[in-house]
Structure 1
């Protein structure tokens, strides 16, 4: 929850790039928590995004795929740009971000423009779906709690 609060705080203050960095890092972390392996990689990230964001909230993501979001994640985290190796290889579209509540389009099929707010909403909804799945599966919940107990967290004041 603290991570979500930090993402919202950055967004409210207008730090768009930092918002994206923390949002993609949070997805990485949740994909790790959800998995039964110690490493996540692109497969774990894409699986979590597909299951909890794309399948559950397609209208919020303007047609973005898990591969598109992986490419966006790599570009943002590694270089701070919209291009990634997956984009250059044709595996993912370049994602640009708009600050509005609603879909915006592009005439270029290699470019997808997402509403930053809608992306954040899709992520917030994904957390709810993920937590619901954990509640329904005691084994998954136990594994997730063990991983969560190892995470570095700041203490609430």
Structure 2
């Protein structure tokens, strides 16, 4: 059963400035050791950080916590940058998930980069692991309905705001 959906759009330029000005201490506040190891292997640290940032934001929205109520950046740990990333929950985020549903909860996140306008886009789906939900169909639908228009920059910013308002 689909329990939550989160969408986040992250501009790459501000992330690039933060990485440049604040460096590793800033990254340490947001990313776990495993995530940092993955980030430093990328060809563009700022782009990889923006994708990870968007993935965490989307995951927090899917769980309906945001960052607060005991959930912090490090509580959402994204897996390797594959097509669909698994998200491990820790601390307050895990506590919130367990309170929602005692069964195993699965959060998966997929990220895309806009072609020309400098955005990282992430969608996270939270589902009950025991369901027979066909994730392939859901991800295909999300890609067609949400991601393609956003990643092609065919929407104006006001239109993007209406997509998830």
Common fold by TM > 0.5 = no
| Higher relative contact order, chain-length normalized (CA < 8 Å, sep 6+) | 2
- Normalized per residue, which structure has more strand? 2
Q: What TM-score, normalized to structure 2?
A: 0.27
